[in-house]
Chain A
């Protein structure tokens, strides 16, 4: 340990700061809830058989969502990343749209759709409805994960298969086993996202475990019971992630933006039309339909509310973009440091494992608990400079999203052939130069993709931000959230469209910046 500290000062500093500033406040809140014997005893009595059944119900819904999303996402991933489907670049981007929009808005849009079309919204206000809405939201995530796994398959393996077997056999014996880790990873991540989701079941009036935790927070103000209940949720998520980690071992899954290997594309032949229809139908259900409803509600007879929404949100643009950009930069930096350490060590060290474990713990902790923990820890006169500024929000973003960044980058690094670094090492090129000239250019596309994902998540983050945002600051998701309560539907829909447009514009802007940087770096490598 001592040698590691001397050898890798940057890693050690980042690790210690992460533990002290981000992990400790949340862990401390959990410890307080567990070690306060009085309240623990009282609260344990409140955890009844109904609580357990409710948890099981939530697990069932989340598993259904994860299963269907992973299935549809894998199919979409195959069609768009592994075949030469027309307009596949457009579809890849368009199908990601549900990830940019708050689940709350999509739930409202679906409820309205069923009322307009079927005369009542009872059909969607059920466990099945929750599963359906969440499936449309999380399928793009599965598509992204499995699609990149499909692109990463070495063409030699599949070509060998095709020499002795047909489409079905090659698919079942070579392609699918190779992307199995990505499929499992997609299932686990979507399961965690779904089981932690509060707004969709709340809007659709379905009682799940997260709504129960919310009730303890907001109706009973029983923080310790809410924390205890969250711990149950956390244990399930951690067990699942551990199982996934053990199973997948060193496979490189959950990676985006990597320079693809020389991958083989499949010919769909007579399956081309059904495949194309599936993509079109999915696009229609998950993107076009909710957007038609949003547009209909926004511009129904007038445009005044759209202008009003723009004026209301205008003061928030600068703050929100600065915050999300800074947050995404810090998250990518931490994720990169954690991933690079694992890459250098080849086998994970104790600190590397604990870093991963801490990020995972924070990822699975409900946002409200992270918010409460940050207030309790940082609301101290000596830490005023953190608590009363934007730093506290950035710490919240880091807590919530570092895990995803570290995974994305870690898996991108796993794809770098060790031979490249070894060859440079034999030539006597220094470690720093190898890092700059080999590692950075090769992971640059993944760095950009991770930055974009972290930016989108940070820009829309609400659960922690509303608990800790500095008084007097105008932030986009908070404004939308606090205005939408008493606002007419057209104003709410207008705000959603504006938030979506701002996100998209920023992504396009970042894309052009990244493109020029990546181009320059390719010259360096070349």
Chain B
């Protein structure tokens, strides 16, 4: 009987633990790696006293957790704000009617190219697609300068890209489709396949393969490349196509969830994320490039003013992405 009472008390406490509900909190889902997003959210908590309850996921495993969770929770949203590492996922949510518009005063000086015209999402702190290379395997004059060089015979079997069905690699390929057109991009992708491009499981895997010397170079994001260069002196990176189509810039994006329980706190966090201070933090922690002018960045972090960006419309690219997914699946599985 005593055991029964103890078990009952434990189970009651257990259920009650889930019932605490205060209004001075905000629920955030993020696909930005926890090592980088958690300090920013803690800073917001310290500054405002609003308790942040976060659900983390990672791009490395395609953010299956948070995005599918947001879609499944559509009818009764639990999340107030979604912070994505790229525009793709927020646009997926926007197209499914899961986001709500908000025009943050902090974003007024951010280039309109990085904002949704209907204010369903706003971009900040950007990453770019870069070429990461192993200095032991490529002499300075051998480093490709354009993405199109990767189809040259001399790089046969020496180039890696992440699975194009997921994450920023999908977006990169979709951006090539919108910039170059279907025919030219398909020719390029076929040539890459002929040149025995290595399909890695993720951008992190591309980084690892280059660092270990399994391949000579690969396409990845600036944060991975920056980490690799810090970890291993034999690894370098560069922005491709600076005399041509430019490098793809991918801002972090943030959006409010429609019908969320703490929309006001969501707006406060959105303002905080879009501030110059957050951009400075992300520049220090993972070499992200600020979209605001005049943000202090550490040495080695590129400025958006110093690189030629690929001219893309994120919404059109997201639509193109849905169109080409079956093609990409077939290409990856060839």
Give the interface of A toward B (CB within 8 A).
115, 120-121, 202-203, 205, 207, 214-215, 217-221, 223, 326, 368, 371-372, 375-376, 379-381, 384-392, 394, 466-472, 478-479, 481-489
Contact = CB atoms under 8 A, between A and B. Distances in A.
Given A115-B214, A375-B69, A488-B231, A466 B165 contact: no
Contacts of B170: 219
B73 A219 contact: no
B76 interface: yes
Interface in B158-174: 165-166, 170
B214 A372 contact: no
A119 to B, nearest CB: 9
Given A375-B72, A467-B68, 19 more contacts: A205-B201, A215-B165, A215-B329, A218-B67, A218-B166, A375-B73, A379-B76, A388-B18, A389-B15, A389-B16, A391-B14, A392-B18, A466-B57, A470-B18, A471-B28, A471-B54, A483-B34, A485-B204, A487-B35
A326 B6 CA distance: 13
Contacts of A478: 56
18 contacts: A115-B212, A218-B166, A219-B170, A219-B325, A223-B68, A326-B14, A368-B68, A372-B72, A385-B18, A387-B78, A394-B14, A467-B72, A471-B27, A471-B78, A472-B54, A485-B59, A486-B227, A487-B35
Given A121-B214, A391-B14, A482 B165 contact: no
A486 B202 CA distance: 11
B14 A486 contact: no
Contact of B55 (A390, A469, A481, A485): A469
Given A205-B201, A471-B28, A221 B231 contact: no
B9 interface: no
A207 B53 CA distance: 36
B78 A379 contact: yes
Interface in B58-97: 58-65, 67-69, 71-73, 75-76, 78-79, 92
Contact of A471 (B79, B200, B208, B286): B79
A298 B135 CA distance: 25
Given A219-B325, A384-B19, A466 B65 contact: yes
Interface string B182-215: 0000000000000000011110100010001010
Contacts of A482: 33-34, 56-58
Given A389-B18, A485-B61, A379 B75 contact: yes
Contacts of A375: 69, 72-73
Interface residues of B, number: 60
Interface of A is mostly: helix
B212 A389 contact: no
B65 A391 contact: no
Given A466-B65, A479-B34, A486 B166 contact: no
Q: Which 4 A-B pairs have the closest CB atoms?
A: A389-B18, A472-B53, A485-B60, A471-B53
B185 to A, nearest CB: 18
A385 B19 contact: yes
A217 B69 CA distance: 11
B60 A467 contact: no
Contacts of B201: 202-203, 205
Contacts of B92: 221
Interface of B: 10, 14-19, 21, 27-29, 33-36, 51-65, 67-69, 71-73, 75-76, 78-79, 92, 165-166, 170, 199-202, 204, 208, 212, 214, 223-224, 227, 231, 286, 325, 329, 333
A377 B143 CA distance: 54
B204 A120 contact: no
Nearest to B326: A220
Contacts of B61: 481, 485
A221 B71 contact: yes
A513 B53 CA distance: 36
A211 to B, nearest CB: 10
A115 B333 CA distance: 24
Q: Which of A205, A223, A385, A482 has its CB near the most chain B CB atoms (within 10 A)?
A: A482
Q: Which of A214, A218, A472, A486 has its CB near the most chain B CB atoms (within 10 A)?
A: A486
Given A202-B201, A375-B69, A467-B65, A485 B14 contact: no
Nearest to B96: A221
B18 A486 contact: no
